[in-house]
Amino acid sequence: PGEVARVLQHSQFRPGAPAFTTLIKTCGRAGGWDKAVELYQAMKQRGVAANTITCSALINACGKSKQWEKALEIFREMKADGVEANIFTYSALISACAKGRQLDKALGIFRECQAAGVEPDAITYGAVISACEKGRRCDDALDVYKQMRRAGVDANVITCNSVLAACDKAGRCDDALAVFESMRDEGIKPDKHSYAAVIGACAAGGKVDEAMRLYRAGTKAVDPDIGMYTAAMQACAAANGSNGTVDGSNGPKGS
């Protein structure tokens, strides 16, 4: 038996499912995914029935340590045991796959979630969009973002930034501008990452004047960082490459 099992074997402590869940969450926060798995196995060996909350906590613990294969294994095991998955389970599993850069698996879990009649929430949508951004799948990121809006689920600046970053990587200027405008329409305040991504997308898409207009607006709205400066410099380089000119007023420091 593992270390956890030995400790429990010689202890007067007889935890039930809630106590095991708390211990699993504690291990997950500390990066001890392997100890979390040992706890889960000890729990089952003691005849304590696993429940949705416990399994979700374990999947989350594995995901935090990028153990996506173990997270999927636990998911399959809980389904075989007749334990029902809820939105927290699916979100944790999607996030685990995203951290492991398993984009197709993350999208597959997302579709399975919808097929099971479990309504995705903001965390679920955010995890899927983040996975799409990391996998450079701009079309998928935009598609899921549109699904999110149609479902009436509120996005936050982090999710919007993931969509913008996907557009930036793909050089999708018009899509980035549309997402940026939708943020304003919905009262989501763009941050420095929002500006950097939309400026970068415009620069890559050849809309240099628009990129610099956004840069100037961004310097008044947020505290610029290296990301914004880099995106602005890309716009300047694009203008020079096309023999164009660009208004550099309020341009990057050091220019």
- Who's near 200: CB < 8 A, 6+ residues apart? 168, 211, 230, 231, 234
- Quick one: pLDDT at residue 5? 59
- For residue 252, pLDDT over 50 is answered with no
What average pLDDT does range 24-45 have in this prediction? 91
For the stretch 99-142, pLDDT in tens is 898 999 999 999 999 999 999 999 999 999 999 998 899 999 99
Tell me the whole-structure pTM to 2 decimals. 0.81
- Quick one: pLDDT at residue 213? 94
- Quick one: pLDDT at residue 164? 98
